[in-house]
Structure 1
Amino acid sequence: MKDKKVFLGIIGAGAIIGLLSALLVKLGNPGNMGVCVACFIRDTAGALGLHGAKVVQYIRPEVVGIVLGAFLVAVASKEFTAKGGSSPFIRFILGAVVMIGALMFLGCPLRMVLRIGGGDLNAIVGLVGFAAGIGVGIFCLNKGFSLKRSYKLNKLEGYAFPLVQLVLLGLLAAAPSIILFSAEGPGSKHAPILVALGVGAVVGVLAQKTRLCMVGGIRDFILFKDSYLLLGFIGIIVFSFIGNLAFGQFKLGFTGQPIAHNDALWNILGMFVAGWGSVLLGGCPLRQLILSGEGNIDSVITILGMFVGAAFCHNFKLASSGEGPTPNGKIAVILCMVVLAVISYAFREKFSAKQSKKVGVKVEAN
């Protein structure tokens, strides 16, 4: 049983992240987007030319800070371990699927929480879908779903992704002509680089030390009646609400919300896909960034899948806008649910064992 200090620690982490997120919006980030892993990966993908949506192109230093913060504290606490090899391509696909769901809703699970703290009632609708998706994911876990174990790798594998983040930071600072930057739209709105980098690093450190995860909070509460991670989730909502009130950014309602739409069905289904996919992956997009900083190459592969998913979303008009979801996006979300169902079934322990046995019989016959 966790002691009082541990619970205060996760609440404190949520409080700091909520307040700093509200501060980033005050200093220039898009509304209710102090930190959004999905949106920021999407923006970075655009800056690198992976998609051509001119309004969402900017290398977001918050992502760099999250990875480097997690990396430094993991090394300092001797928790850094290079490992991988747990169904890498399936994780890549799941990363893309989670991104498609998130961009249907217009935000990752962390932004969903921050949108609630900013008064966006559409995010509460999204939370319903998110919780339902987690519930389906838990059902799959109970039926034996597993992406198998990972293996220890050369340390250079673990160092590579944090080094890539340093390269991205250098490109942001140098701003060469090969990097694309939005002149208008959400990509043109950002806090000062050093502030954003510093906030990202604080988020990375706090999330690494507390194991903060938007999916884990609901999952653990349903599975084990453990409210530890859920308290961090609630802390972000409460203190982002306080921060938004203090900065005059709070706006209650369904309409006129920044970078959001009020199509309830597709807000639910987008977050349903994000929740289900994140349970299969073992953590939300924020948690995947933290794990990548700790040397987990499976999480790096997941993040790369999210980059490609973001590119697909904007190159093929899958992402929603303030006007609502697109026809292509609706089809993509339905296909994502089919993909999740197939993966959930195929990676059950019993099914995998039967397939392995069949392969063994065929080998013997040959």
Structure 2
Amino acid sequence: MRNLSVTTFIHILFSVAILILIATFLLFLSWDKDRHKIEEYKRYQLISITFLSKLQLNPGKEDLDALYKDLRVKPLSEKKATKIKKQIETEGETVFTGGSSLGQVRVFRIEDEHYIYVQRMQHNLLLEDDRAENYYFEIAVALGVFLIAVLLILYLAVLRKLYPLKKLHKQIQRFAQGDMQTRITYLYDDEIGKIAKSFDDAIVHINALSTSKNLFMRNVMHELKTPITKGRIVVEMMEDEASKKILVRAFERMNELISELAEIERVTTQSFEPTFEYVMLDEVIRRSQELLMMAKDNVTVDVKNVALATDIKLLALAIKNLLDNGIKYSKDKHVTLKTVGDGLEISSKGEKLQHPLSYYVEPFSQEEKRSSGFGLGLYIVHNILEKLGCGLDYKYVDGYNIFVIKAGDACRFG
């Protein structure tokens, strides 16, 4: 029940209510039919006993008229009686038969009319049931139909009231998928309208924050590039090789940080979409090694050269970051890249990570004892692989840290 949508719950609720109402209505009709039969039987039994008892006393016309009035029946004229008798022979349905040693009474039904035939010696009376018509059945049917119609109208009214939630959901989904220009619209000031307005206000605020963040990042990176470049030029003129080496490394690390921040901004933007193309895995790895800018002796490659539908620049960058981390933190400055099944494994000898992988895919996360790096490598890798429809996993086996690029719908390496 907790996972049912509101619309599904309303469908079930009203369906059960209508079924219960229909079942109750059918039970009532069945009960009313039985009740009508019992009442009819009791009435004709009373008429049978009363008529036969009175006729035994040879009543006069006035007595018979009083009896007709009391029992709510009326005698038929001789002409009509003859016609009815012929109809009874062809289409009459017997609904009651009763009597005693005093005589016999039978009741016939023709269409919706009831006729009572009384026989006692010289008396042969054909009477018409003159009982007042009741409309209990018709009223019950009308009431049942009315209640079902009311429930259906309420059901449609509730669905119509909830329909804007579907539109609201689609607009929020578009925003979640990166359409930052989406606006939440709703005409009425009810609860749904208030929720829509709150979401719209949140979207406006998020857009403002995102614009400010992007502007700040670009300004910072732009402003840092100039002094770093000037600093490198000045450092190259220094004669003290030891100091020069330290400063060059410092400027290089600042450049790396700016590049990583720029890549983070690009990849993590919701509107960013990878450019998929068919490439060979060897070409991706070659690009990764070029970006790595280290001797090929540091990397052992054992992969199947398969075709991939991927963004070659992004996948190469992700593999480069994993290779860079493996070399940087391994004991022997060596890393192995190989295909296992339909995934890629990057393994290096070293100590086991102290935290779960989820800790390291957050920005600026790293081991406390490691001073090199900014803790952005795995964060960038994680975001890139998400964009490419792949996954990232980690395991520690026999002294080796192994990062696994898990296959997805668009990335299989085996």
Higher strand share: 2
TM range, smaller chain? under 0.3
Q: TM-score, normalised by structure 2?
A: 0.19
- Higher Cα Rg: structure 1 or 2? 2
